[in-house]
Structure 1
Amino acid sequence: MNVVAIIPARYDSVRFPGKSLADICGKPMIQHVYERTSEVALFQEVIVATDDHRIEQAVLKFGGNVQMTSRDHKTGTDRLTEVAKHLEADIIVNVQGDEPLIQPAMIEQAIHPLLDDPDVAIGTLKHKIEHPHDLFNPNIVKVITDIRDRAIYFSRSPIPFIKGMDMHHEGFWKFRFYRHIGLYAYRRDFLLKFITLPQTPLEIVEGLEQLRALEHGYVIHVVETQCESIGVDTPEDLEQILRLLRQT
């Protein structure tokens, strides 16, 4: 199969403008993401999709592949699809441009369900939640799956509800809670159809695009990963990454 990675990157982040170009050990953040993504042997091509010429020039400077897209896109998925329309690929992988510590193994884990099962439209990842702060943080999306590792639901709230217990009960944490990691592998045909589907009620109230796929009956396979990565949403996140890199 022909598998292509697309890294959506925009300059005008609300909480951290220009974060794609933030310096990390002498390289812009987008270069770290690009180089780690390029280590995945399954990819025939890695492309940065951006609407900003400053990012375009940075990618060209380090020898990367970049395509300019419309500035009118509301989501990274829309930007992804603009590029995917012109590709001859079977699988499109959306790698977030603000994950400079992304591990190639994580990307491969998200791809394999699509290689193994023709019924799967999307492959993605989950990671066990260890701390109460993460479980009750609405910015950390939670996921529950069935016994085949297919997504049942995604939520900003803790799921599932544990009847008769609160988080201080000794049995509460015997249940495994999972955070969703926003790395997606799509069948290209599904991706092109997905953006034409009407928004759905649960998607709107939770503010989570992946619920549109579930509400329309598509299969999302969720792989548990032991790997961790840190997304950069704020300057404080960047400082955390710099501290980790100094320790290695």
Structure 2
Amino acid sequence: MKICAFIPARYAATRFPAKLMQMLGDKTVIRHTYDNTVATGLFDEVFVVTDSEIIFNEIVSNNGRAVMSKRTHESGSDRIAEAIVDLDVDIVVNVQGDEPFVKRGPLEKLLRVFTDDAENKIQVASLMQVMTEQKFIEDANYVKVAVDKHMNSLLFSRSVIPFPRSKDAATVYYEHIGVYAFRKQALLNFTSWEMTPLEKAEKIECLRYLENGVPLKMVVTEYMGVEIDTREDLERAAKLL
């Protein structure tokens, strides 16, 4: 089974432009993400996939591997799908470029979903972590996920889900961590589908899978660090580093 990691990387992020090129300690955010992904030792190959010459040059000038996108893409998954069309690969892992604290443990748990799936039923898997701070639960920058008893995704939203109507229920909130693993064909299928209504409304790409009847197998992991969406996140990341 050939397993490759791809890191989609846009320069012009909406909330925090050029966030991937911000310095975090002695390296840029995107280099932390790339170097830490390679350091896990889990992948046959690791690539950054980008539409930016600045990001491309940042990676290749530091002995990394990068691919320039040929077209404009709405999502990171679309960007990766273009890169893998002619690539011999079985499992594709999408590591978000703004996740500089990538570690082996969570990714290993994610990949185990596929290595343990003898019947090849699972098409897509992703990570989540328990949320405990109310300010983050209520923050629309943090994507929440609700799951069934088999840990398959039911819904992703920037709103608070589940809504705590009953104050007596023990409510668990999960934050969706933007790290995905796909079977190659599942990812190619994704790009053949039109953007779906919930995906457009929430700006959450994995909703396209749910709206086409494909659940994501969710894997609970420990805290992975800080996702860089705002300048405040960068400050938190610097403290964690």
Tell me whether the two structures share a fold, i.e. TM-score over 0.5.
Answer: yes
Name the CA distance, whole Å, in 1 between partners of 2:226 and 2:69. 26
Residues 51-78 of structure 1 deviation map (CA, whole Å, 9 limit, x = unaligned): 1111111111211011111352122111
1:109 Cα deviation after fit: 2.1
**Candidates 153, 156, 160, aligned match of 1:154:** 156
Counterpart position of 1:74: 74
1:9 Cα deviation after fit: 1.1
Instruction: Pick closer, same or farther for the CA change 1:114–1:219 going to 2, 3 Å.
Output: farther
**RMSD in angstroms over aligned alpha carbons?**
1.6
Name the CA distance, whole Å, in 2 between partners of 1:31 and 1:204. 30
Letter in 2 for 1:91: I
Matches within 5 A, 1:164-243: 164-165=166-167, 171=168, 174-243=170-239
Letter in 2 for 1:240: R
Instruction: Pick closer, same or farther for the CA change 1:236–1:71 going to 2, 3 Å.
Output: farther
Name the CA distance, whole Å, in 2 between partners of 1:32 and 1:238. 13
CA contact (8 A) 2:154 2:215 kept: no
CA contact (8 A) 1:8 1:94 kept: yes
Letter in 1 for 2:28: P
CA contact (8 A) 2:51 2:69 kept: yes
Letter in 1 for 2:202: E
CA contact (8 A) 1:103 1:227 kept: no
**Candidates 118, 131, 134, aligned match of 2:133:** 131
> Alignment partner of 1:128: what SS?
strand
1:196 Cα deviation after fit: 0.7
Counterpart position of 2:32: 32
1:234 Cα deviation after fit: 2.2
TM-score (norm 2): 0.92
How many pairs does the alignment contain? 239
CA contact (8 A) 2:162 2:171 kept: no
Name the CA distance, whole Å, in 1 between partners of 2:198 and 2:53. 36
1:148 Cα deviation after fit: 1.3
1:92 Cα deviation after fit: 0.7
Radius of gyration: which is bigger?
A: 1
Instruction: Pick closer, same or farther for the CA change 1:130–1:199 going to 2, 3 Å.
Output: same
Residues 91-121 of structure 1 deviation map (CA, whole Å, 9 limit, x = unaligned): 1111011111122222222222122221111
Residues 146-199 of structure 1 deviation map (CA, whole Å, 9 limit, x = unaligned): 12111111122222233333xxxxx35x32111111110011111011111123
Name the CA distance, whole Å, in 2 between partners of 1:145 and 1:15. 28
Matches within 5 A, 1:14-163: 14-70=14-70, 72-117=72-117, 118-163=120-165
Name the CA distance, whole Å, in 2 between partners of 1:155 and 1:110. 21
Q: What fraction of aligned residue pairs are identical, expressed as a percent?
A: 38
1:39 Cα deviation after fit: 2.2
Name the CA distance, whole Å, in 2 between partners of 1:63 and 1:135. 39
Name the CA distance, whole Å, in 2 between partners of 1:207 and 1:14. 12
Which 5+ residue runs of structure 1 have no aligned equivalent? Answer: 166-170
CA contact (8 A) 2:40 2:103 kept: no
Q: Identify the range of structure 1 (89-98 vs 6-15) with the bigger mean alpha-carbon deviation.
A: 6-15
Name the CA distance, whole Å, in 2 between partners of 1:196 and 1:97. 24
Name the CA distance, whole Å, in 2 between partners of 1:15 and 1:133. 19
